[in-house]
Amino acid sequence: MSFDIRAVFPRSICLEMQSSEIYETAPYRILLNGEERLADTRNAVSLFGLSPDTEYSLTVIRGEERTEQRFRTNRESVLLNVRDFGAAGDGVTNDTAALQAAIAACPAEGTVSFPAGTYLSGPLFLKSRIRLYLEKDAVLLGDPERAHYPLLPGMTEGAEGEYNLASWEGNPETSFASLLTGIDVTELDIYGEGTIDGNADCADWWVDPKRKRTAWRPKTIFLCRCEGVRMQGITVRNSPSWTIHPYYSERIALYNAEIWNPSDSPNTDGFDPESCRDVLLLGCRISVGDDCIAIKSGKLYMSTHYHRAAECITVRNCLLERGHGSVTIGSEAAGGVADVEVSQCIFRGTDRGLRIKTRRGRGPYTVYDGIRFHDIRMEDVLMPFTLNMFYFCDPDGHSDYVQNQTALPVDERTPRIGTITAENIRCTGAEACILCAYGLPEQYIGCLRLRNIEAVFRPRAERKPRQAIMMDHFPDLDGVSVYARNVQKLVLDRLSIAGSADEEPQLINVNEYDSQNVVYHT
């Protein structure tokens, strides 16, 4: 079976099968230097326990198919064991100082190694050109005492003007430092089979979460203006708020990482790239209490003064479970979002699959364009596709300006949605709708294309009306196939819909409608 080597580390490798199937394929075996190391079905997998700067032969066998490649692991200048710096790893002793000392002492291309054990720690500040390696059964555990978390000022004054160090929901707000904090870090690896645990279930971060207490809640991993950061294999869980938050960063990659938060934990998005470029998620599994992946680019202040779009983002061969949305764009995306591709993924048990949200007042750079979802399987996703330009977030979200359904003048505050494409997607277990798209009366959604979509609703007795989009005065939906309002162009090509409460799309103010082979099954 053919495969590609996607990432090489000093002690591990990530490979992806050349398969068009979704997330997993027929069983295969992986041999390393002739010895079997893994039997799996996932399209993207990782191997650990390798030695640095060593050449290996890698063979993948499926049935009679057999493919071999050779590779060499990356060089490692030194391996520093955190226990040699005084870390106890007993889950009781506070190991912050010892862990920070190991990081500070690590030279370029060196590795800070966490052997098996539980390392209780406050925030650790990372640096460039090193690796953190968490061995199997190693747990980096967040200190539950908020008094042990330093603050990161949202903005402070420097010689050349403002200096931004932190963010909260799209604004430069003072926040607690995160368990792993990277500021202006380049070429950093965080990998291994261990766990990074924010420990929020044993702290008070989830209590009264909308109130600012000294500062806003930390993330578990925060990367500010970083470049070339790779994460592989790790499990990240129990985050105080957003779990992994790259911010104004470039070349960020996650390989076979797992992100888990309780389903009722507040604002615990899995992965939130904000104003980031060149981002890859490959073979990851995310199950959280909010959006699995939320692509953002700040609110009005940041887009006006420090404009950067979120762009060139790829999500492939991932499993996204529970949560409000599988992949969400917005609403804090005033810098715009472009060139997003999500493919060969399973969305399972989330409220929404593709969730796009914005509102008036976001600013002139709020343009979502070039968004493509294809070759996806949605299982028990209640509302597979939702687009909402009346999203009622923020203190003024219910104001007349945001929610007024008459056409207002188009100005520098008006957001825009360009071209959105979804194709080759199967949805089972839908409840509220397959598509609910609501544009602004003064700024229609540009072009929405759905091609080769197969959708099956739950039986009527198992459904209940649901809030498809968060806007004022919009009714809950139950079994609605397609609802589109204020859309410039809608293309429905090869749609098969079974079990809906209606027998045709509900279209209001759709200027161009191209329909081919839309079939309803009773």
Q: Taking residues 160-172, report their average pLDDT.
A: 95
Residue 158 pLDDT > 90: no
Longest dimension (CA), the chain: 69
Structurally, the chain folds into a number of domains equal to 3
Tell me: do 218 and 138 sit in the same domain: yes
Helices (DSSP H) in 23-159: which residue ranges? 96-105
pLDDT of residue 421: 99
Residue 160 pLDDT > 90: no
Q: Which residues contact 394 (CB under 8 A, 6 or more apart)?
A: 359
pLDDT of residue 250: 99
Residue 383 pLDDT > 90: yes
Q: Out of 274, 306, 331, pick the residue that ends a domain.
A: 274
pLDDT of residue 150: 98
Tell me: do 372 and 468 sit in the same domain: yes
Confidence of residue 159 (pLDDT cuts 50, 70, 90): confident
Q: Out of 19, 42, 72, pick the residue that ends a domain.
A: 72
What percent of the chain clears pLDDT 70, i.e. is strictly above it? 100
CB 189 within 8 A of CB 9: yes
Confidence of residue 1 (pLDDT cuts 50, 70, 90): confident
Q: What is the pLDDT of residues 256-315, one digit of tens each?
A: 999 999 999 999 999 999 999 999 999 999 999 999 999 999 999 999 999 999 999 999
Cis peptide before 481 (omega within 30 of 0): no
Q: What is the pLDDT of residues 422-475, one digit of tens each?
A: 999 999 999 999 999 999 999 999 999 999 999 999 999 999 999 999 999 999
Q: Please tell me which residue in 290, 369, 375, 394 is annotated as part of the active site.
A: 290
Q: What is the reported pTM?
A: 0.98
Residue 522 pLDDT > 90: no
Residue 81 tokens read as 């064991």
Tell me: do 362 and 241 sit in the same domain: no
Name the average pLDDT for the chain: 98
Q: Taking residues 112-138, report their average pLDDT.
A: 99
Tell me: do 326 and 202 sit in the same domain: no
* Residue 475 is assigned to a structural domain of this protein: yes
* Residue 279 is assigned to a structural domain of this protein: no
Residue among 43, 104, 112, 106 at smallest CA distance from 81: 112
40 is catalytic: no
* CATH code assigned at 93: 2.160.20.10
* Residue 64 is assigned to a structural domain of this protein: yes
Domain membership of residue 24 as a residue range: 3-72
Tell me: do 68 and 83 sit in the same domain: no
* Residue 324 is assigned to a structural domain of this protein: yes
290 is catalytic: yes
Tell me: do 234 and 265 sit in the same domain: yes
* CATH code assigned at 26: 2.60.40.10
Alpha-carbon torsion angle 468, 474, 480, 482, nearest 10: -90
Q: Please tell me which residue in 324, 374, 493, 502 is annotated as part of the active site.
A: 324
443 by DSSP, 3-state: which? coil
* Residue 285 is assigned to a structural domain of this protein: no
Q: Out of 72, 93, 122, pick the residue that ends a domain.
A: 72
Tell me: do 321 and 468 sit in the same domain: yes
Tell me: do 35 and 88 sit in the same domain: no
CB 154 within 8 A of CB 172: yes
Residue among 341, 328, 343, 351 at smallest CA distance from 376: 343
Tell me: do 166 and 311 sit in the same domain: no
Tell me: do 86 and 48 sit in the same domain: no
What DSSP string runs through 214-278? Answer: SBBPP-SEEEES-EEEEEES-EEE--SS-SEEEES-EEEEEES-EEE--TT-TT--SB--BS-EE
Tell me: do 162 and 245 sit in the same domain: yes
Q: Taking residues 118-132, report their average pLDDT.
A: 99
Q: Taking residues 379-387, report their average pLDDT.
A: 99
* Residue 245 is assigned to a structural domain of this protein: yes
* Residue 283 is assigned to a structural domain of this protein: no
pLDDT of residue 248: 99
Q: Taking residues 201-218, report their average pLDDT.
A: 97
How many whole angstroms separate alpha carbon 401 and alpha carbon 415? 13
Tell me: do 372 and 251 sit in the same domain: no
Alpha-carbon torsion angle 231, 237, 242, 247, nearest 10: -10
Q: Which residues contact 258 (CB under 8 A, 6 or more apart)?
A: 234, 235, 236, 284, 285, 286
* Residue 280 is assigned to a structural domain of this protein: no
- By residue count, the chain amounts to 522
Residue among 472, 294, 295 at smallest CA distance from 392: 472
Q: Taking residues 351-358, report their average pLDDT.
A: 98
32 by DSSP, 3-state: which? strand
Residue 20 pLDDT > 90: yes
